[in-house]
Structure formats: C-alpha cells, structure tokens
Homo-oligomer: A and B are copies of this chain.
C-alpha cells in the first residue's frame, strides 16, 4: 500500500505530520548511489535537506564519501554524530563569532569550506590557518561564486591567507525550471572545467571538482567533475516531479494533513499551512503541493495553519475529518519546519526520527 493512495497512511496519526516511507527512502538512496558509482563520481549528499543523523548514516552505508552542509551549525550536528568528512558548501564569512567554532570543527573532522572572495579568504585564513577551501564558481545561477576566469584571483588570495586550495565547486540552481536540468548540468560541468583549467595552469593541484543538485546531478556527473552534492533525492517532492527528477512512485515523504473545513464552494481546508509546508511555489508547479489520491483538486493558497484546496465542480475530494497525503513542493523547507519524521514500513508506523539539524542556520 502506497503512502499516496487513499488509506495508505497509518491509522490514528495526529496531524500535521511528516511521514516517510522507509522502503522508498532506501530505494532512492540505493539508486542514486549506484548511478554515481557507475559514473565514477563521489557522492557527497547535501544534508540540508534531511537534517537527519539516521538518513546520513544510511547514506554513508550506501557509500557516500562524506556529507555536504550549508552552515557550521549543521556541521556540528553531524560531527557530533560521528560524520568525519564534511564540506560546508557556502562562502562562510569567518566573523569573530564564527572563528572559534570553525577552528573547533576543523580540529575534529576532515573539513573543507567554500570561498568566493579575497576578503572572505582573508577572514577564513585569520580564523583557521591551513583550512582546506574550494573556490565557488558561478555556473549560471548568479547567486554566489565567481566567473571561471576569476577563480585564480580568489585562489591566490586564499593561498596568501594561509589556506589550502583543494578545488572548485558550483551549484547550477538555474536548473530549477522545466526542461532546464540538462542544460544547467552541462553549464555546471563547463564552468567547473574552465575554472579547473585556469587553476591547473596557475599551478594548483585540484583534488575536488564538485557539482550538483538533484535535478542536475545525472547531467553533470562526468569528468572533470569528481563529486556530486544532491540533497533532495532521498525523499523527492512536487518540484522534482515537475522537473522530471523522479516519478510519483519515488516520492518517499508526504505531509499527512486533516480536512478541518469544507467551504460552501466545496473548498477543503487542511490543517497544514505555510508553517508546515513552507511557501515556496515557483510558477511552474500547479499549487502548494499535490494530493495524488485526489488528482483533480489543487492546494491553491496557504495561511499559516490553513491549506486551502480548490475543488472544481464534480471533482472527487476528501471528506471532513479525512487524513490525506500531500506531496509538498520543496521538501527542504518542510523538513526544516518539523521536529520529527514519522517513519512507516508496509503501511505501519515503525518509529520517529528527529530532525537533528533543524534550524541550525548559523
């Protein structure tokens, strides 16, 4: 029985709740690990999605080389749990508050950190001499990172600051739109290849050429890329369905919600609003998530505690009091809003896992 079918959730669940199908999770972990193994590329999953020590343990069991995190706070949680190889894929600014935390982390795990400016490199070097860094390359997302032609300047500043330049990384976030993942994956590979060539020419010996996101990972996983950092693949979500990263049978996490109100126009209101689902809704998804058991209805707008579902005339819709399974748009946000996962196997509740690194944003 699928989580996504009517009646597929365990009976008696209190809602709203995040429900994980353990068998699907395992299948997703195995499939991506296998894809990367066959591509000859290391898998370093981004733990900002799951924030879970238990999911991280399973990723390592499937051969992950280490973890990617976004913040020192996330790194601390996974280091405490015994993960000994971490990449903070973020241009961390080593302020007076962060410097001692960074030094303490570097003393206990194999660590690398992102950098995208001479000023950032200087602060990192002051904070943590000898730290390994990867220079961030902008492959088209235009968020952080420098153009491939500018990586040598940042690397030289890092070397002058006493840092060790281990490699380059990018995030092809412009792949988050329909039909864009193949091109964005190619952009990642091209930008990294260009950056790596500049650095090699300048005498740097690069161990790490790191790309990736769940939609682009299969497209950029070839030389000179040495590792991929997808985050969402353990669970998938409605955005990944729209991007073609997975099928609906791969979705391993749903939000269980109860219909608390039925409007005069037939609308259903769920007890999961933006404080549970997040508010991410790009123009290329239909609504605020999907209700696979009720394909003709649309979660149209959210209050903080209200998910308002439009029901067209004649559409089959859930009844007052019914518990439904909703596939959220962006699972990273959803997990960060929750304290725990409810884990099920074969339709039965088998336990809860804490969201260990929830809200570790600094």
Q: Which residues of A contact B (CB under 8 A)?
A: 12-17, 48, 70-71, 90-93, 95-98, 116-117, 119-120, 123, 142-147, 150, 173, 258-265, 269, 271-272, 274-276, 278-280, 303-306, 308, 320-321, 323, 332-333, 336-339, 359, 361-362
The answer to whether A144 touches B306 (Cβ under 8 A) is yes
The answer to whether A261 touches B361 (Cβ under 8 A) is no
10 more A-B residue pairs beyond the given contacts A14-B98, A275-B359, A338-B359, with a C-beta to C-beta distance below 8 A: A12-B96, A93-B258, A145-B261, A271-B361, A275-B333, A275-B336, A304-B333, A337-B337, A337-B359, A337-B361
Q: Smallest Cβ distance from A97 to chain B, in angstroms? A: 4
A70-B305 CB under 8 A given contacts A98-B14, A261-B116, A269-B144: yes
* Contact among B96, B274, B280 with A333 in the assembled complex (CB-CB below 8 Å): B274
Q: State the oligomeric state as a number of copies.
A: 2
* CB-based closest 10 A-B pairs: A14-B97, A279-B279, A144-B261, A119-B320, A93-B260, A70-B305, A91-B261, A91-B260, A275-B336, A93-B258
Interface centre among A71, A258, A260, A308 (most CB of B within 10 A): A260
Q: Smallest Cβ distance from A304 to chain B, in angstroms? A: 6
Task: Give Cα A332–Cα B337 distance, bound, in whole angstroms.
Answer: 13
The answer to whether B92 touches A260 (Cβ under 8 A) is yes
Q: Smallest Cβ distance from A69 to chain B, in angstroms? A: 10
Q: Smallest Cβ distance from A280 to chain B, in angstroms? A: 5
* Contact among B278, B332, B337, B362 with A16 in the assembled complex (CB-CB below 8 Å): B362
The answer to whether B276 touches A279 (Cβ under 8 A) is no
The answer to whether A143 touches B308 (Cβ under 8 A) is yes
In the complex, chain B residues whose CB is within 8 Å of the CB of A308? 143
Q: Smallest Cβ distance from A48 to chain B, in angstroms? A: 7
